[in-house]
Amino acid sequence: MFTGTTTLAVAQALPKDGKVYALEIESYMQEFAQPYFQQAGVADMVEVLVGPASEGIAKLAAQGTRFDLAFLDADKTGYLGYYNQFMDLNLIVPGGAIIVDNTLMKGRTYYSGGVKDELADAIREFNEVVCKDPRVDVVALPFRDGVSIITRRHEVRPDVDEIVTGAAHSRILQRLKLNSKVALITGAGQGIGRAFAHALGEAGAAVAVADINGEAAARVADELAAKGVRAVAITADVTQAKDCQRMVDSVVDRLGALDIAVNNAGVNFNNAAEDTPESEWDTTFSLNTKGLFLCCQAEGRHMLARGHGRIINTASMASLLVPHPQKQIAYNASKAAVVKITQTLGAEWADRGLTVNCMSPGIVNTALIQSDALRPLAKEWLQQIPMGRLAEMSDLQAAIVFMASDASSYMTGHNLVLDGGHTLW
């Protein structure tokens, strides 16, 4: 049962480079389950070790394997021995967990009225040892047979510096989490903004999805809500100062605060310089430059009053070179201005608790790039990029989380370039 359904479910929930080890006493279970692992596409992620569990644990320890999660549901009289192996052989990473089933035995662990109950006695002893173990924290979930979540503590010593303990006693991956933070993303109804919204939501933030297209914003907010992210949709025209202020006020009113602002809304036109109409220039600068500044201004007022915040602007590699063969003078100039706005605000607000940075993506494989006008240029672009491929929106997601998190607390006024090496040639 566990080598089948549970192992398969865990493997499907892991990233593709994840690994699940199933310790199974019956060899036929490995043979029975293997075709289903193949059918589900996770066979490479699952390894079944047949034999006594204690031998399997010792083998894994000998080869240096360590785990984020261990699930223990075997012979109850063996629980304590397995637990001691997990901990004494250093198989569980700090912050990792051991999930233990049947730790209340339907209440039998609370009863010792002279009736011999070998299994309940074994579980009672197990629970007592775990509760006294200074290496772990334990939470018991009191339903049916009971489930205990045993988390290995990070070792904290008073005689070591924060390189050992982690800044503010937070390990590096903890510093990338955005739990309890509120993020606003403009232009989030599609494309890169949508990818940013999902990334920040997955990292733990509540997300305000802002876009001039209210229906598109609502669709993305619904996507986030379906993933368990607290999300709201806001319709806003960021070229209007009143709309920018209303947008910020709405985020604060509906989500309680504003900690992270990603100003991503933008537009691009392709025209030779001598043919660029004044209206096209005005439209580009109205959104890409003036609109971005108005957003920074409204967001900054709120964050300055609170004494902390992260503002991240979407610039472009066009701020560093002249992309070709397409001609886009208005876009290039507007994005160069975004970098200078970012640097200026980063310097002005650095000593008041705010960081202001920007990201300059290379050519990103969006629906726009797949349009009839731009698709024919892809072959030439690929020859200009050392990595030999366009950026995918997923390539930008980890970077936006870093820029929004405490891990980037000493970075401000910076233009983070993610272009596959495009600006190197």
H-only helix segments in 151-229: 162-165, 172-175, 191-202, 214-226
Q: pTM of this prediction?
A: 0.78
Rounded Cα gap, residues 347 and 336, in angstroms: 17
Q: Do domains 2-169 and 176-424 have the same CATH topology?
A: yes
Catalytic position from the list 79, 82, 83, 331:
331
- Straight-line distance from the first to the last Cα atom of the chain, in angstroms, rounded to the nearest whole number: 56
Q: How far apart, in Å, are the Cα atoms of 279 and each of 33, 83, 106, 276, 285?
A: 65, 70, 74, 8, 10
pLDDT for res 29: 84
Beta-carbon contacts of residue 332 (< 8 Å; ≥ 6 apart): 316, 318, 319, 322, 323
Instruction: Domain ranges for the chain, please list them.
Output: 2-169, 176-424
CA nearest to 309, candidates 202, 403, 393:
403
Mean pLDDT, the chain, whole residue set = 92
Question: What is the model's pLDDT at position 157?
Answer: 66
Cα 310–chain centre separation: 16
Beta bridge partners of 154: none
- What pLDDT score does 113 carry? 63
Whole-angstrom CA distances from 141 to 73, 95, 129, 145, 228 are 15, 19, 17, 9, 22
Neighbours of 382 (CB within 10 A): 14
Three-state SS for 139?
Answer: strand
DSSP strands (E only) in 10-102 = 20-24, 46-50, 67-72, 92-101
What does R_g of the chain's alpha carbons equal in angstroms? 27
d(CA 420, CA 313): 20
Kind plus residue range of the DSSP H or E element containing 416 = strand 415-418
Q: Is the peptide bond before 325 cis (omega within 30 degrees of 0)?
A: yes
50 CB-near residues (< 8 Å, 6+ apart): 24, 25, 26, 27, 30
Question: What is the reported pLDDT for 398?
Answer: 97
Which pLDDT belongs to residue 184? 98
Which segments of the chain have a pLDDT < 70?
1-2, 112-115, 156-158, 169
pLDDT for 1: 61
Quote the CA–CA distance of 210 and 187 in Å, as a whole number: 6
The CATH number assigned to the domain with range 176-424 reads 3.40.50.720
Residue with tokens 């200074």: 134
Per-residue pLDDT, 136: 93
**Is 331 labeled as catalytic in the residue annotation?**
yes
Architecture of the domain spanning 2-169 = 3-Layer(aba) Sandwich (3.40)
| Residue-level pLDDT at 160 | 72
Q: How many Å apart are CA 163 and CA 317, to the nearest integer?
A: 34
